[in-house]
Amino acid sequence: MSTVESHPSPLREQDTEVASWLQREDKRQRTTLTLIASENHCSAAVREACQSRITDKYAEGYPSRRYYGGCEVADGIEDLARQRAMQLFGATHANVQPHSGSTANLAALLALAGPNGRIVGMSLKAGGHLTHGYAKNHSGMLFDARQYGVDKDGRIDLDEVRDLVREHRPQVVIAGGSSYSRNIDYAAFAAIAHEFGARLMADIAHPAGLVAAGLVPSPIGHADVVTMTTHKTLRGPRGGMILANDEAHKAINSSVFPGHQGGPLMHQIAGKAVAFGEALRPEFRDYQRRVLDNSRHLAQVLSQNGLSIVSGGTDNHIVLVDLRGTDVTGADVEERALAAGLSVNKNAVPEDPRPPLITSGLRLGTAAVTTRGFGTAEIDQVAQIVLGLVRGEDPERYRSVVQDLCEAHPLP
């Protein structure tokens, strides 16, 4: 197996401390199965683009309208990333500059609602994101935010959303979440938002790759603005992106720069361009199909063996396990899983009585292990490990199974 140690390394020669931390992370990823739903493994080509010399270049502004000289290469790369993004999602405008999903969301909310505006989004506890109006996030401080939850079956209740929008009269309604495993009816959300004069912002950070592959509903044509990260199911480098309709795109561009950020991270934008090129290939759709097959299989096996799955299953890459009927917390299982070699995260479930650092849930995702080549046979093995850990079996007994799986399915 090729490792970072086998290549010449200016970093190792110059700074052994940082080099050894990075070697440790390389080993951690190679020898651990990532089941964190928001993580994936991007390609070597994406990583090469992200470590290129263009990291040194300032390029404030947009292609052909920059505030620095020497931006002709930056222009070419950013235009390529934008064109590929628009083709991938069938969108008319793309802004590839947001440094992250959080900055994309705040830039979009400020563009659409303005400071002190009113917003409606899904609550963090029900599966929304911090930036959808959580009180301790800037989205909950800068805006007058109201939050909707899920019904007793773990699904968005559109009647509740409509009542909230009618009462609160927000400028922006947000559809999307971080631990919501069901398809979202963007047409219905748009109808509610537009009926009351609001605009719809869809945050597809989690299912972006599945949306691009046409395997789950797309908000394009319904939402005024679509935000996302590029590193989850989309399998690109860490970063954010905003797609906007004809009416919103100018305000979005001004809000990202100069409103929210200075110089774009051109090395990350180069990585985004590479990833979007990969996502336009037919193999990407096959990969996303396997992500879905694997998550459905994982949900089914866990459920058949007695674990409760929020909403009873999944339509995307996320499986949210409700541990309230067991003797363990999310934190317990996260710790045991790490000892076995599985990287997972504890997660609140709707109406969770436990605090956020403990939780009663476990959020699993199949994007990263599917990148390693896992199919349903390997997912069966993963499911048996999770079941054993919940039952309280010694994590050490699973360590060699996990190592064999890692060696048989190396990272890209």
Name the residues that contact ligand DSN, by CB under 6 A.
38, 101, 129, 178, 205
- How near is the Cβ of 105 to ligand DSN at its closest, in Å? 9
- Nearest Cα neighbor of 200 from 208, 211, 212, 188 is 188
Q: Is 221 exposed, middle or buried, given 0-12, 13-18 or 19+ CB atoms closer than 10 A?
A: exposed
Given 26, 60, 79, 151, the catalytic residue: 60
Q: Would you put residue 182 in left (φ > 0), alpha (ψ -120 to 50) or beta?
A: beta
In the residue annotation, 290 being an active-site residue is answered as no
- How near is the Cβ of 119 to ligand DSN at its closest, in Å? 17
In the residue annotation, 58 being an active-site residue is answered as yes
* Closer CB to ligand DSN, 29 or 376, in the complex: 29
* Closer CB to ligand DSN, 205 or 364, in the complex: 205
Phi, psi dihedrals of residue 228, rounded to the nearest 5°: -165, 165
* Closer CB to ligand DSN, 54 or 319, in the complex: 319
* Closer CB to ligand DSN, 128 or 217, in the complex: 128
Phi, psi dihedrals of residue 232, rounded to the nearest 5°: -95, -115
- How near is the Cβ of 101 to ligand DSN at its closest, in Å? 5
* Closer CB to ligand DSN, 200 or 228, in the complex: 228
- As a whole number of angstroms, the distance between CA 293 and CA 380 comes to 12
- Residue nearest ligand DSN by beta-carbon distance: 38
In the residue annotation, 203 being an active-site residue is answered as yes
Q: Using an 8 Å Cβ cutoff, are 256 and 225 in contact?
A: no
Given 66, 199, 232, 346, the catalytic residue: 232
Number of C-beta neighbours around residue 343 at 10 A: 16
* Closer CB to ligand DSN, 105 or 245, in the complex: 105
Question: Residue 154, CB half-sphere, CA atoms under 13 Å: how many?
Answer: 22
- How near is the Cβ of 331 to ligand DSN at its closest, in Å? 16
Given 34, 103, 227, 229, the catalytic residue: 229
- Nearest Cα neighbor of 84 from 271, 267, 291, 222 is 271
- As a whole number of angstroms, the distance between CA 304 and CA 320 comes to 15
DSSP per-residue codes, 74-106: HHHHHHHHHHHHHHHHT-SEEE---SSHHHHHH
* Closer CB to ligand DSN, 33 or 165, in the complex: 33
Residue type for position 407: E
Strand locations in 57-198, DSSP E? 61-62, 65-66, 93-95, 118-122, 144-148, 172-175
- How near is the Cβ of 180 to ligand DSN at its closest, in Å? 10
In the residue annotation, 229 being an active-site residue is answered as yes
Given 162, 238, 290, 363, the catalytic residue: 238
Q: Where are the alpha helices (DSSP H) in 213-323?
A: 249-254, 266-279, 282-304
Given 203, 278, 322, 334, the catalytic residue: 203
- How near is the Cβ of 349 to ligand DSN at its closest, in Å? 15
Given 26, 31, 47, 58, the catalytic residue: 58
Number of C-beta neighbours around residue 389 at 10 A: 24
- How near is the Cβ of 327 to ligand DSN at its closest, in Å? 26
- Known catalytic residues? 58, 60, 203, 229, 232, 238
